[in-house]
Amino acid sequence: MSGETSCYWALWFKSNFINYEKIPDDPELIKWRITHTRILDELRKERLAVGEKIFIEEGNRFSIEVGPGIFVEGKPDLVAISENDATIYDCKVGEQKASHQVQLMIYMYAMAHCLNKYPNLNVKGCLRYNQGNEVEIPNRLIDENFIKDLKYFAGILSAESPPGTAPSKNECRYCNITKRDCPGRLD
């Protein structure tokens, strides 16, 4: 949805197949996971220190139907509940990307509109980066146009026939689908 990925085929494939052979994680991804875990732990301690009730990762898992038979699933890193607000946090390592904001907006839509877990609370979003900076996402961005676009892209990913591939050096570099499943893959 953010325009950062051109190969809808890879997204379609990952949405429709779970147990496929994956390219092994490289050491940089392992470093990323360690940093992400630290950021999340620091955030957890910070939110608890101000008296908020928190839910972490698996406690936030959702699956919502955005169209007939079309489901979107996810799990925000942390949800902090105060008296009037539910703030959905997602921790990120590296540079800021539009896709991070879109991901958080999907989480906000799911939590505010599709779950009864946070009734009568103002749902907000916040991205926390490893450099310490934050990007707040106001709930006004979750409007009719966003919901329409979400349903549109979910429809592409749930289609019976896959969209065409769009291999490129950059697209394939971060994709974990092997050449066995993606003949267009560029190594």
Structural domain contains residue 184: no
pLDDT in tens, 17-65: 989 999 887 787 788 899 999 999 999 999 999 999 999 999 888 888 8
What's 113's domain CATH number?
A: 3.40.1350
Structural domain contains residue 179: no
Structural domain contains residue 166: no
CB atoms closer than 10 angstroms to residue 79: 24
Structural domain contains residue 152: yes
pLDDT in tens, 167-179: 998 889 889 999 9
Q: Which of residues 115 and 187 earns the better pLDDT score?
A: 187
Cβ–Cβ < 8 Å for 173, 6 = no
Alpha-carbon distances, residue 38 vs 23, 35, 84, 176 (angstroms): 25, 5, 28, 24
CB atoms closer than 10 angstroms to residue 142: 22
Range of the domain at 74: 24-161
Q: With 0-12 CB in 10 A as exposed, 13-18 as middle and 19+ as buried, what is 135?
A: middle
Give the strands of the sheet with 53-56, arranged side by side. 53-56, 78-81, 85-92, 122-129, 134-137
Write down the pLDDT at residue 115: 54
State the angle between helix axes of 144-157 and 8-16 in degrees (0 to 180), rounded to the nearest 10. Answer: 70
Count of domains in the chain? 1
Write down the pLDDT at residue 100: 96
**Backbone phi, then psi, for 132, in 5-degree steps?**
95, -10
pLDDT-derived band of residue 118, with 50, 70 and 90 as boundaries?
low
DSSP H or E run through 133 = none
Structural domain contains residue 14: no
Write down the pLDDT at residue 131: 87
Cβ–Cβ < 8 Å for 151, 66 = yes
* SS3 label, residue 65: strand
Write down the pLDDT at residue 116: 64
pLDDT in tens, 72-114: 889 999 999 998 889 999 999 999 999 999 999 999 999 876 5
